[in-house]
Amino acid sequence: MADYTAKCIDEMEAGFGGGFVKARAELGVTAFGLQVIQLPPDFGDYPEHDHAESGQEEVFLAIGGSGWIDVEGERVELDGKTFVRVGPEARRKVYAGPEGLRLLAIGGAPGEPYKIVPLTELGAAS
């Protein structure tokens, strides 16, 4: 039997009012972080943050809607064609465009085994 998991985003558990889809946990991935972030139209309250403490770098790709990411004051469009990698120490903040934004976020610390963040687990309160 083949080793794979397939699941629709809309059937996955989500925290933070549906804005943080726990794709990694739903698919059984343990090698890297994998989430889907869903923001309503013109949303600007996504928290600015970095991953300096964990050393995690992130890659983002818009998979629906549009928006942009501000990285240390530089605006990069999230248009469904552009991958954006952000290093651990860079401050980042995501904004949704007028249609909202569905964003794939992949993360991990270079050269380190992936450490699962408890709030990304199924059933975790958020």
Task: Give 74-107 pLDDT, tens digit per residue.
Answer: 999 999 999 999 999 999 999 999 999 999 999 9
- Judge if pTM exceeds 0.75: yes
For 57, the domain range is 50-111
Residue 19 lies in a domain: no
What is the model's pLDDT at position 9?
A: 97
Residue by residue, DSSP assigns 24-60 as HHHHT--SSEEEEEEE-TT---SPPB--TTTT-EEEE
Residue 126 lies in a domain: no
Percent of the chain with pLDDT over 90: 93
Domains identified in the chain, total number: 1
Q: Is residue 64 within a helix (H) or strand (E), and if so which, with residue range? A: strand 57-71
What's the CA gap between 120 and 115, in Å, rounded?
A: 11
Question: How does the average pLDDT of the chain come out, rounded?
Answer: 95
> What is the domain-level CATH number for residue 85?
2.60.120.10
Structure tokens at 7: 């699941």
Helix, strand, or coil (residue 119): helix
What's the CA gap between 16 and 79, in Å, rounded?
A: 24
Q: What are phi and psi of 72, to 5 degrees?
A: 50, 40
User: Residue 125 above 90 pLDDT?
Assistant: no
